[in-house]
Structure 1
Amino acid sequence: MYKIDLKKIYKCIIIGSGPAGYSASIYAARSDLNPIILSGKLPGGQLTTTNRVDNYLGFPNGIDGVELMDNCKKQITRFDVKILNESVTSVLFSEKKGGIHKIFFGKKNKNVLKSQGVIIATGSTPNFLGIKNEKKLLGSGVSLCATCDGFFYKNKNVAIVGGGDTALEEANYLAKICNNVYILVRKNYFKGSKILQHRIYKKKNINVLFQSTIVEIMGKNFLEGIKFFNNQDKKYETKMINGLFIAIGFYPNTKIFKNQIDLTEKGFIVVEKGKTLTSNPGIFAAGDVQDPDYRQAITSAGSGCMAALDLEKYLYSL
């Protein structure tokens, strides 16, 4: 592990090591900012839980998520990016331009890094149903993103869990390529917007199952079907499907930044439109942590690039 100087004031500290963090580190390193990455609890981010990435530019045959992140890690080490396999425990951000920001890590906030610039790329965490087989079959029939994985279920039968905008958007997308799409909604109504509901009801191959709760995900090594309880008819039902998409929301990993920078009501970091600048000078945000809409690996990587360029411009202005 890279040996750090706790007395030194650095130019660029990156919190998080997914596509946004790795991309930011490359651009920062090429600008001689000597970035340090604190990799967090899940080095490589959510992509390390994805068996197949088929929509990332530059891989005509697709690539395994773990392999993609390993490639990114190898690439940043070529630019001498320093990686600390540590999780940030708390932060103390300055509110003044040119101020020094403190990033604490280790047991009982024992260690602290000081930096003029910080890029936050801590990503988000999806909500799960909390039932057996859910995580075991992730990437083997169970998915958290229709845009990412829908292609693998072309002309097949799939189900989506959720009743909000994300679930309805994914159902509309899947209806274009799948034979049948079942939407399981725990309540007896959709939470999603009316316009999305209208689109749902116009699709002949979308079947809405209100007051339905999944109780079992069937399959040993790959998804075979689901068993759910229909509260309207007070009975258990089974659907044999090829894909199950869980769309019950996600939350940004911003707990440690509360009261340090501006966050939205849902916890996303507020950034200047078209930029990665946060409410505090010298603090920038990239990837899912500031993106409630797209949440794709390629958009995260792009915003990581933006954050590094924004940080470089900020440091030159001091």
Structure 2
Amino acid sequence: MTALTAAFAGRTVFRVGYGALQLERLQQRPGEAVALLRRAIELGVEHVDTAEFYGFGFANHVIRQTLRPEDGVLIVTKVGADPNPGGRLPLRLAQRAGQLRASVEDNLRSLGVERLEVVNLRRLDSGPGLRPEGDQVVDLDDQLAELAALRDEGKIGAIGLSCVTIDGLRRALPVGIVCVQNAYSLVSRDDEDMLALCAAEGIAWVPFFPLGGALPGLPKVTDEPAVHAAAASSGATPAQVGLAWLLHHAPHLLLIPGTADPAHLQANMAAAATSLDAAALASLDAVESRSNAVALG
């Protein structure tokens, strides 16, 4: 039986959380966004992943409106990029120390809190997406020093890393890291060594793109014959199998699937109860891993 809870930033949480990025699809229907997040809490979500640049602040606004202290939900946000309304991409990099501090202040204001419980530094050294150029190429030590200072000031509680290499994680360990958020799925397991390092150090592994395929050129978990075979034998959907495999694969792994659809939300949460027998797990473990390194130019 897969453990349904895991340690995260000094707390124990249900391993299936919610990624707030998709809330931006409900910007014209804010009442539905609030209802969806409320439903997520009712279904057992205990950690929510967000950022100021999700929907140009809309996701944080919904979280502020919806979550109550008695919900006991761990809110995890990220810095390293800022909203970019009207730009070719909806975000722009903000890697410099002063920009990280400004992003922390922006998140404090939009979430309406005095302290951000966990802040992930979106480092962009690995995985799919943008790469820093020019003055956005900033030494990791300088960034960690700024985040540590913000932690000392009481503005953030704990530090995480996103899109980081294993060497970067090793450099960051003395600062105290509570989670790593990299692209990772059944079909893109580039970071297996980092997954093991996180297990050894008591660091939560929180993959984004848990089903792959989120950008053109990335493989999709739900395209795999082994996934469909496991779905047929378990009575689950292929997506639930992909999420359940992650939960089986590493006990310190937490999920943050996102959706704007209540039925899809319920299906994601049910992945925690999806049972995979030994034969299905062996077949899934044998699926070929392909690189998730796709750059956005």
TM-score, normalized by the shorter chain, greater than 0.5: no
More helix by share: 2
More strand by share: 1
The normalised TM-score by structure 1 is: 0.29
The normalised TM-score by structure 2 is: 0.31
